[in-house]
Amino acid sequence: MDDYFETHSETETEDAAAALALRLAGSRLILLEGDLGAGKTAFVRGFVRGLGIDGQEVASPTFALVHEYGDDGTGRPQLRHLDLYRIEDLETLREAGLFAILDDDVPVIVEWPTGELKERPGAVRIAIGCLGEEGRSFRISGG
């Protein structure tokens, strides 16, 4: 999938992400890239809403590393959200077992992907750019 769109407010970003969630149904790994304050968490909040989950529970998992949202009816989450901003060594994540969730059937959105994560086959990559104070650009590739 190759696509590009722009938004001009946080609300538009959330609405666009909600619509994109429907188009990306079945994607297992979504990589979000963008500078601090680019709107990655707002994007995830909208994406979660697009899956039918209450987006109000979405927060940046910077300190928790992983947040899980929703319940698929079997006790498993509908989406996992990772933030690797402060992670420098992916081997530490592997040893902690976090890489195992990438091979699970639960979709994962990763903020600040690094190293080999950027090269994972089948991943959808979303690059978020800033267009002034409120505007954002979204370039989608892969999948």
pTM attached to this predicted model? 0.88
Question: What is the residue extent of each domain of the chain?
Answer: 3-142
Q: Report the chain's mean pLDDT, rounded to a whole number.
A: 87
Could you tell me which residues are beta bridge partners of residue 110? 31, 82
Tell me which residue of 2, 1, 6 sits closest to 138, measured CA to CA.
Answer: 6
Question: What percent of the residues of the chain are helix, what percent strand, and what percent coil, each to the nearest 5?
Answer: 30, 25, 40
CATH match of 3-142 with 3.40.50.300: yes
If you average pLDDT over residues 73-77, what whole number do you get? 85
Could you read off the pLDDT of 16-65 as tens digits, one per residue?
Answer: 999 999 998 888 899 999 998 899 989 999 999 999 988 777 876 556 77
Spatial distance between the Cα atoms of 106 and 91, rounded to a whole number of angstroms: 22
Q: What is the DSSP string of 69-123?
A: E---SSS--SEEEEE-TT---HHHHHHTTGGGGGGSSS-EEEES--GGGGG-TT-
- Choose between 75 and 130: higher pLDDT: 130
CB-based contacts of 72: which residues, under 8 Å, 6+ apart?
A: 78, 106
Spatial distance between the Cα atoms of 123 and 41, rounded to a whole number of angstroms: 19
